[in-house]
Amino acid sequence: MTDKKTLFINDTEVGFTDEKNVLEVARHAGINIPTLCYRPDLTFYGACRMCVVEQVGRGIQAACTLPPKEGMQIRTNTTEIRKIRKNVIELLLARHNRECTLCTKSGSCDLQKFALEYGITEIRYEKIKEEDFPKIDNSSLSISRDMSKCILCGACIRACSEFQGIGVLGFSKRGADTQIQPMAGYNLAEVDCVNCGQCVSVCPTGALTVKPNISEVMDALCDYNIKTVIQIAPSVRVALGEMFGLKPGDNSIKKIYAAAKKIGFNLVFDTNFSADLTIMEEAHEFVERVSKGENLPLFTSCCPAWVRYMELKHPDMLNHLSSAKSPQGMLSAVMKRILPKEYEGYTKENIRVVSVMPCTAKKYEANRDELLGQTDYVLTTYEFAKLIQSQGIDFDKLEEIEADSPFGTYSGGGTIFGASGGVAEAAVRTAYNMITGENLDDINIVALRGVDEHSRSKEAQIDIKGKKVKIRVVSTLVEAEKAVQEVIKGTADFQMLEVMACPGGCINGGGQPSGCKDSQTKVKRSIGLYKEDEALPIRNSHQNPDIIKLYEKYLEKPGSELAHKLLHTTFSNKKTGSYTDFSK
Amino acid sequence: MSAETKTKIDFHQIDEILESFGYDKTNLIMILQKIQSIYKYLPQDIITYVGDKIEGLSPASVYGVITFYAQFSLEPKGKYEIKVCDGTACHVRGSMPVLEEIKKKIPLEKGRMTTKDGLFSIETVSCLGACGLAPAVVINDKVYPQMTPAAISIIIDTLLKEDE
């Protein structure tokens, strides 16, 4: 921390330390400056001009790119500034598709919000005709692109290149013709998009939205011949409540179960259970690979965006990926196989599995050739909250209930799956037990925790009875690529690599209620998960009684033949780019 | 996708060009100019290739640079590249009637700059620095000064005859 300095905002003295811009200083002082394009985790861009403020003596400046200085005099709310902001909104709306009621972002759209706040009642410019709007790109399984709603703030471009290093989207053409699009007018499904949804998460308008699946789910719910079962992912519990007035990190899982029952799901299960199951298989695989010394380091494979990235960019290294399915994939497969044996009236054919995920890429994962027909529909956290709202359920007044048996119990290891570092921590807890037969003295592996922008690459060394194992944890594919390059060069000294594509992990996934405006939201959500881990009576995946039962009754042991059939999957080269055909 | 016919691309040559510019993204414009001088346009496969090979760039960002600058072309240019100067001096001295005459003689499809037979491509440029010769037209690096509709008509007829 540097020394505390002061500046003046609207004639009030405000202290600041290491804030990078006046916008942050104002926010910390409780003064909100409107912005459409400012995202604290991305580079500051100054595109939208909504955050203009007056620096006395220097004139109008964009607060997001203005570094704070001692004694600076800032005014955030003068008549002139309001007029400029109003004009900005009006100009943005001039070429905007103003069919707000038909937009999936309606209600959570920043542009709509500011238009209301600044009292925009008419727009002096002529409306663009509907037939002149760019076509909607619905090619992707996860993301819908409607450029008639784009304000060219470039947040999506920054997210894709700065978080993931892929840069699927870019500005093209110039001046009034400027557009944001993938290369050469390709659609999203044809380029190297990994479906992580970070572009959706940072988009201030309805230009990039999650491909909705609510209506299909409703159809299944209303069909009495169909048994609907639902699974809720770890990080949903600490974020969904934000849509109902709870704070980020408040754990509302028992209300989420209750809401699911009220909506009409026949059985409610928890993906945390299958996170434990994933740990059993993955830890077993890890122990085996370490003892044989092959295919190391092991790369985790629960993040579908990361898996797709590997298939696109490093198809020759797929042997490093753990063949264990993701928790979503495991639970869906297990449910379709085992529920008919446990519950009357359930058959493989009449079960529809709906999963609630913080992730847009899970929609893609469910449709992978290898996994098709297991998870039927994927809803994002945001969609599920919308579904709850549409059913007239008062979330606040719901009575807390437990999940159904036999896939409802979980350990702390399962719950921390949602934060970057959690998968590795849970895997180490169980791998240690598999090797030594004992549990770790201190199961808190603090070095692997932390989800802010300084913790995107973490390492821990574990001493397993004299054998030292090094674990690397990364979030964002930019960091993942660095780790992969180390493996390629042979300088990697770690034996396990955990990757989550979204910065901070699933808690900050593309399907969560957007937390991009403030870099603390994801931190609070992760604290919520680690709190639950601390509070649970069982914190090791291998001690989950229902997991033990599942192996005893059906799967024998981790890595058994049936376990492999049901719980493991394969990967394949998905490299795009026609140039590869003649490059050699 | 566009009906672009696949051009045979020598990727070793592209590698050499990238190598000579040190695979540095700040040299992108020069790299693209060099490639365009060989192929007369920038084929899609090359855009993807360059975007993948240079660190910090992606196909989309390379495409963005190409579509930003008028000097780059995404479609093959014609055998005769006609550049009509429409800088201020040429404009006031009557470059537009010259352009109209060219378009009358060489009809283009809407949104295209090259004729279907690949013989001509037509574009306007902003100031060739030959204001003393206004209005100026450049065809394949040869400057035709003080153009009139009648004069350009004869020049095009000559080119057409040469090509027969």
Provide the pLDDT confidence category of residue A577 given band limits of 50, 70 and 90: low
To the query of whether residue A556 is one of the catalytic residues in this protein, the response is no
A166 touches chain B (CB under 8 A): yes
Q: What percent of chain B has pLDDT over 90?
A: 65
CB contact under 8 A, A579 and B59: no
B11 touches chain A (CB under 8 A): yes
Residue B1 has pLDDT above 70, yes or no: no
| Range A409-438 burial, b when 16+ CB lie within 10 A, else e | bbbbbbbbbbbbbbbbbbbbbbbbbbbeee
pLDDT the model gives residue A519:
87
CB contact under 8 A, B67 and A172: yes
CB contact under 8 A, B48 and A169: no
Indicate which residue of A37, A48, A64, A302 is catalytic. A302
Q: Which CATH number fits domain A5-77: 3.40.50.80, 3.30.2290.10, 3.40.50.261, 3.10.20.740?
A: 3.10.20.740
Residue B48 has pLDDT above 50, yes or no: yes
Minimum mean pLDDT among A347-356, A483-492, B71-80: which range? B71-80
pLDDT the model gives residue A516:
80
Residue A166: list chain B partners with CB under 8 A.
58
How far apart are alpha carbons B158 and B163 in whole angstroms?
9
Provide the pLDDT confidence category of residue B126 given band limits of 50, 70 and 90: confident
CB contact under 8 A, B61 and A170: yes
pLDDT the model gives residue A582:
37
Would you tell me which residues 176-195 of chain A have a C-beta closer than 8 angstroms to some C-beta of chain B?
181-186, 191
B61 touches chain A (CB under 8 A): yes
Provide the pLDDT confidence category of residue B8 given band limits of 50, 70 and 90: confident
Measured CA distances, A22 to A10, A44, A355, A452, A457 (Å): 12, 12, 42, 21, 29
To the query of whether residue A370 is one of the catalytic residues in this protein, the response is yes
Out of A170, A172, A173, the one facing B58 most closely (by C-beta) is: A170
Residue B72: list chain A partners with CB under 8 A.
none
To the query of whether residue A261 is one of the catalytic residues in this protein, the response is no
CB contact under 8 A, A173 and B68: yes
| Pick from A582, A309, A533: nearest CA to A418 | A533
CB contact under 8 A, B60 and A181: yes
A199 to chain B, minimum CA–CA distance in Å?
A: 15
B51 touches chain A (CB under 8 A): yes
Measured CA distances, A238 to A174, A407, A501, A543, B159 (Å): 42, 20, 19, 24, 73
Q: Which CATH number fits domain A122-210: 2.40.110.10, 3.40.50.10490, 3.30.70.20, 3.40.50.2000?
A: 3.30.70.20
pLDDT digits (tens, 9 = 90+) for A364-419: 999 999 999 999 999 999 999 999 999 999 999 999 999 998 999 999 999 999 99
Out of A167, A185, A579, the one facing B61 most closely (by C-beta) is: A167
Instruction: Pick the residue from chain A with its C-alpha nearest to B1.
Output: A186
Could you tell me what percentage of chain B is helix, strand and coil, using 3-state DSSP and rounding each to the nearest 5? 50, 10, 40
A157 to chain B, minimum CA–CA distance in Å?
A: 9
Q: What is the mean pLDDT of residues B38-67?
A: 92
pLDDT digits (tens, 9 = 90+) for A531-560: 999 999 999 999 999 999 999 999 999 999
CB contact under 8 A, A168 and B57: no
Residue B62: list chain A partners with CB under 8 A.
183
A168 touches chain B (CB under 8 A): yes
Say if residue A12 is exposed, middle or buried (CB neighbours under 10 Å; 0-12, 13-18, 19+).
Answer: exposed
DSSP string, A228-251: EEEEE-GGGTTTGGGGGTPPTT--
To the query of whether residue A173 is one of the catalytic residues in this protein, the response is no
Instruction: Pick the residue from chain B with its C-alpha nearest to A575.
Output: B52
Q: What is the mean pLDDT of residues A132-157?
A: 94
How far apart are alpha carbons A314 and A488 in whole angstroms?
10
pLDDT the model gives residue A126:
86
B46 touches chain A (CB under 8 A): yes
Sorted by where each begins, the domain ranges of chain A are: 5-77, 122-210, 214-567
Instruction: Output Rg (C-alpha) for chain A, integer angstroms.
Output: 25
Residue A1 has pLDDT above 80, yes or no: no
Four-residue CA torsion sign, A202, A205, A211, A212: positive
Instruction: Pick the residue from chain B with its C-alpha nearest to A481.
Output: B55
Residue B48: list chain A partners with CB under 8 A.
183, 577-579
pLDDT the model gives residue B3:
41
Q: What is the mean pLDDT of residues A35-63?
A: 94
Q: What is the mean pLDDT of residues B137-159?
A: 94
pLDDT digits (tens, 9 = 90+) for A435-466: 999 999 999 999 999 999 899 999 999 998 88
CB contact under 8 A, A167 and B74: no
pLDDT the model gives residue B4:
47
How far apart are alpha carbons B48 and B1 in whole angstroms?
14
Phi, psi of B142 (to 5 degrees): -100, 130
Q: Does residue B127 or residue A265 have the better pLDDT?
A: A265
To the query of whether residue A302 is one of the catalytic residues in this protein, the response is yes
Indicate which residue of A282, A383, A479, A532 is catalytic. A282
Reported pTM: 0.90
How far apart are alpha carbons A305 and A470 in whole angstroms?
24
Instruction: Pick the residue from chain B with its C-alpha nearest to A312.
Output: B52
A575 touches chain B (CB under 8 A): no
Which two tokens mark B147? Answer: 């153009």
Residue A577: list chain B partners with CB under 8 A.
45, 48-49, 52
CB contact under 8 A, A191 and B59: yes
Provide the pLDDT confidence category of residue B164 given band limits of 50, 70 and 90: confident
Residue A497 has pLDDT above 90, yes or no: yes
In the block, residue with structure tokens 């390629």: A488
Residue A158: list chain B partners with CB under 8 A.
none
Residue A584 has pLDDT above 60, yes or no: no
Residue A307 has pLDDT above 70, yes or no: yes
To the query of whether residue A282 is one of the catalytic residues in this protein, the response is yes
Measured CA distances, A25 to A29, A32, A244, A471 (Å): 6, 10, 28, 37
pLDDT digits (tens, 9 = 90+) for A175-208: 988 999 998 778 999 899 999 999 999 999 999 9
- Does residue A281 contact residue A568 with C-beta atoms inside 8 Å? yes
Please state, as a whole number, how many other Cβ atoms lie within 10 Å of the Cβ of residue A401: 16
B68 to chain A, minimum CA–CA distance in Å?
A: 5
Residue B58: list chain A partners with CB under 8 A.
161, 166-168, 170, 183
Helix (H, G, I), strand (E, B) or coil at A60: strand
* Two domains, one topology: A5-77 and A122-210: no
- Does residue B66 contact residue B32 with C-beta atoms inside 8 Å? yes
Looking at domain A214-567, its CATH class is alpha beta
CB contact under 8 A, B9 and A582: yes
Domains and CATH numbers, chain B: 11-68 (no CATH), 80-163 (3.40.30.10)
To the query of whether residue A455 is one of the catalytic residues in this protein, the response is no
Would you tell me which residues 125-164 of chain A have a C-beta closer than 8 angstroms to some C-beta of chain B?
157, 161
CB contact under 8 A, B58 and A161: yes
Residue A158's H or E segment, with its range, is helix A155-158
To the query of whether residue A362 is one of the catalytic residues in this protein, the response is yes
| Pick from B156, B65, B146, B31: nearest CA to B103 | B156
Q: What percent of chain A has pLDDT over 70?
A: 98
pLDDT the model gives residue B2:
42
